[in-house]
């Protein structure tokens, strides 16, 4: 039984999905990086890993069943580091997953770290229809890698990139981090140039944040490490973006750059607020019920994940109130270069978003692009995304929506397309 009796009133019934995205969280890493606040733990026994993987498969099968067995359009396996688990267990998991989802996803991605890249791993991924790998490079400079507490060095990372270049013919994305202490502009630009040699068709470029609870944050609080200045961060990001543009990478989201037609469909589904499933410890789903949009968030605990009897026991369940749901639409949508789609927002919340945001639009007019169909931030505005969203959140908290949760017209089967 999925939900306990006292959950029935809250849950009512799930609305049937035609299609959705699926994220699978495999929470194991060989080592926890000092900056990472995602839920993960160091590798455990093979027996425990197998139990976790089997529970993930059980939950996927059950949730797909109660949502009408939708087509999985995009699938992303992340963590943790999925490829850090024994290859026999990974192979078995992928084979069983293929049987459950039936139809091959249009975009099927997996996250790798350099120290886990081998020809054998790539062969297993290809044999199981994965068509996109996302490599957590972060930097190719040893000083920067040391600050980040990475479980690799530049030599090992270059070796992994060579293996990918020689053995992987499908889509390849690389993650980089800017604004790291010990990192200069020269190092940041060198990382981009060197990565480009290995022909990725997608690059994610993030600015380092010091997240509470991480080892890096503790060092910062103790004065052992200092972040670079905001002005240096902005300048480094601007120069990096200019370099990526010169290499043919289109900036389609605040931190994501792609060759034409190689944008991440899975992430676009998040940013454009499509429905999605997230299975595994700390995974989250956003789905529609007859009572309104629902967030199912798995608890950050392997023990709970394995020992709980129902998905209700493994998750926190929250009906998302209209103000929070509107803020999510805007926080996600304004990350995109194309911004928010006016007609879509108006149809979900049954009001005029241009009128609703008038005071924010007036205040930020110099960095806003307003058309008949969209509201977006220009390049200068994307650099100021966080303060812009703070103003937007303040406006939403002041203005109460005259709308109940059940009156939100969120389209479960919203079509996400490339542009």
Strands 276-279 and 19-26 turn out to be: parallel
Strands 256-258 and 374-377 turn out to be: unpaired
The CATH code of domain 322-407 reads: 1.10.10
Give the integer Cα–Cα distance in Å for 217 and 38: 14
Strands 132-138 and 171-178 turn out to be: parallel
Indicate whether 168 pLDDT > 60: yes
- Average pLDDT of every residue of the chain: 93
- Compare 145 and 404 and report the one with higher pLDDT: 145
Indicate whether 235 pLDDT > 70: yes
> Could you give the residue range(s) of every CATH 3.80.30.20 domain in the chain?
5-270
Give the integer Cα–Cα distance in Å for 254 and 377: 10
Mean pLDDT of 375-397: 96
pLDDT at 417: 60
Give the integer Cα–Cα distance in Å for 218 and 222: 6
**What is the pTM for the complete model shown?**
0.95
Q: What is the band of 12 on the pLDDT scale with cuts at 50, 70, 90? A: low
Strands 132-138 and 41-42 turn out to be: unpaired
pLDDT at 11: 53
Question: Regarding the domain delimited by 5-270, which CATH topology (the fold level of the hierarchy) does it fall under?
Answer: pyruvate-formate lyase- activating enzyme (3.80.30)
Give the integer Cα–Cα distance in Å for 110 and 168: 13
Least confident stretch, 106-115, 205-214, 390-399, 404-413: 404-413
User: Which two structure tokens, joined as six digits, stand for 419?
Assistant: 């542009």
Give the integer Cα–Cα distance in Å for 368 and 298: 37
Give the integer Cα–Cα distance in Å for 236 and 212: 24
Taking residue 374's Cβ as centre, other Cβ atoms within 10 Å add up to 17
Indicate whether 1 pLDDT > 60: no
Indicate whether 8 pLDDT > 70: no
């Amino acid at each position: 039984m999925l939900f306990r009796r006292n959950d029935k009133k809250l849950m009512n019934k799930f609305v049937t999905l035609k299609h959705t995205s699926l994220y699978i969280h495999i929470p194991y890493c060989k080592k926890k990086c000092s900056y990472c606040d995602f839920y993960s733990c160091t590798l455990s026994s093979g027996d425990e890993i197998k139990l976790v993987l089997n529970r993930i498969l059980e939950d996927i099968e059950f949730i797909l069943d109660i949502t009408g067995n939708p087509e999985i359009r995009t699938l992303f396996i992340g963590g943790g580091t999925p490829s850090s688990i024994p290859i026999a267990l990974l192979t078995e998991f992928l084979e069983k997953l293929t049987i459950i989802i039936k139809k091959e996803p249009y975009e099927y991605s997996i996250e790798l770290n350099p120290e886990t890249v081998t020809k054998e791993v790539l062969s297993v991924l290809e044999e199981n229809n994965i068509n996109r790998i996302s490599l957590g490079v972060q930097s190719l400079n040893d000083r920067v890698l040391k600050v980040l507490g990475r479980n690799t060095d530049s030599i090992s990372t270059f070796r992994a990139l060579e293996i990918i270049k020689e053995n992987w013919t499908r889509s390849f994305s690389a993650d980089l981090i800017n604004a790291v202490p010990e990192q200069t502009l020269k190092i940041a630009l060198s990382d981009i140039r060197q990565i480009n040699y290995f022909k990725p068709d997608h690059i994610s470029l993030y600015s380092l944040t010091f997240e509470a609870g991480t080892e890096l944050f503790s060092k910062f609080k103790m004065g052992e490490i200092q972040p670079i200045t905001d002005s240096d961060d902005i300048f480094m990001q601007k120069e990096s973006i200019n370099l990526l543009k010169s290499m043919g990478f289109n900036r389609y989201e605040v931190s994501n750059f792609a060759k034409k037609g190689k944008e991440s469909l899975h992430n676009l589904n998040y940013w454009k607020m499509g429905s999605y499933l997230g299975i595994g410890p700390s995974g989250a789903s956003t789905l529609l019920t007859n009572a309104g949009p629902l967030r199912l968030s798995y608890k950050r605990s392997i023990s709970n994940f394995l020992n709980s009897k129902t998905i209700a026991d493994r998750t926190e369940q929250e009906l998302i109130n209209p103000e929070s749901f509107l803020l999510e639409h805007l926080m996600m949508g304004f990350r995109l270069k194309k911004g928010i789609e006016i007609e879509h927002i108006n149809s979900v919340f049954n009001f005029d978003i241009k009128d609703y945001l008038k005071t924010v639009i007036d205040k930020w007019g110099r960095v806003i692009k307003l058309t008949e169909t969209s509201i977006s931030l220009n390049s200068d505005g994307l650099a100021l995304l966080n303060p812009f969203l703070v103003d937007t959140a303040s406006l939403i908290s002041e203005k109460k929506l005259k709308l109940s949760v059940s009156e939100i017209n969120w389209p479960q089967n919203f079509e996400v397309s490339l542009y």
